[in-house]
Amino acid sequence: MLAYVGSESNMKNKVAIIGSGPAGYSAALYTSRADLKTTIFAGQEPGGQLMKTTEIENFPGTPKGTTGPQLMMAMQDQATRFGGELVFESVENIVKNGVIFTIKTESNTYNFDAVILAMGASPRMLGIGEEKYWGKGLSTCAVCDAAFYRDKITYVVGGGDSAIEDAVALSKFAKEVTLIVRGEVLRASKPMQKRLLDSKVVVRYQASIKDILGESKIEKLVLDVGGVEKTVFTDGLFLAIGHVPATKFLADSGVELDELGYVKTGGEYPTMTAVPGIFAGGDCVDHRYRQAAVAAGSGVMTALDCEKWLENK
């Protein structure tokens, strides 16, 4: 079944936005207000990672704080207020046919004049069932959540730059910070390792987490340290072992990815990919910041570039 939504002389340009996090909803707000017919492919679980975040205090315009679900529902309402249409399906592939982009989902096929990629990236997990502790002591962003762990005991998993950045950020608030490193040495850059040495963070090498214990929240960790098992108390566990961008479906699109699978941009417009008419923003292009406010701003940039590209076309 083909749902044709391509341009006609007496119709608006049609824009597809793939992703329903801060970047996707911000892009949709701008494209729909610019009188572009906007379809948001939100997937089966709209809202992105913030739907699993209990408290948010660092998003502009929320002086009393908010929760992830509240923020995302508000952004969804605003994105659809000016005509943005939600489709609760996941995109399987994108193919360019002449000047039209054909998007295939599980049950339908659509045509558009331009596409904005805003799928985000998912944090790598340990694979020991830790997901049930989201917002209950488990986090993947110390920069976001460090202030909630003032005078508490925390553990960070990872050996790269991000792990050290998280551990050092936590050390400004937490009573104790322990960095769990699987190998015998850190993978982080020399400057970051120096920052670690100058902090109060304790490093455990040749260590891994075997199990997480706790009823309503994380209470204990079962560690394997050099082959010796030990149980420790903790208030929080931070994972900093990398992210996986949701870009596998782009295999036949012509969009270029870097060695980690993130979308490469910087064509004719700053947010344009290697394929004219496909733009990208948010965590699917962001190796570094991975903040909701940054993703929202990035989404706005994609929308402005997309609008200008369609005008010039």
Rounded Cα gap, residues 203 and 197, in angstroms = 10
Kindly give, in sequence order, each residue whose CB lies less than 8 Å from that of residue 242, ignoring residues fewer than 6 positions away.
123, 124, 158, 160, 162
Catalytic residue among 145, 283, 286, 305: 145
Instruction: Please pick, among 35, 77, 141, 305, the residue that the annotation labels catalytic.
Output: 141
Q: How many CB atoms lie within 10 A of CB 34?
A: 19
- For 20, the 3-state DSSP assignment is coil
**Residue 284: active-site member:** no
- 286 belongs to the catalytic site: no
Residue 50's SS3 state is helix
**Three-state secondary-structure class, residue 130:** helix
Strand order in the sheet with 278-280: 85-87, 37-41, 14-18, 114-117, 278-280
How buried is 97 (Cβ within 10 angstroms: 0-12 exposed, 13-18 middle, 19+ buried)? exposed
Q: Which of 113, 144, 283, 306 is catalytic?
A: 144
283 classed as catalytic: no
Q: Which residues are catalytic?
A: 141, 144-145
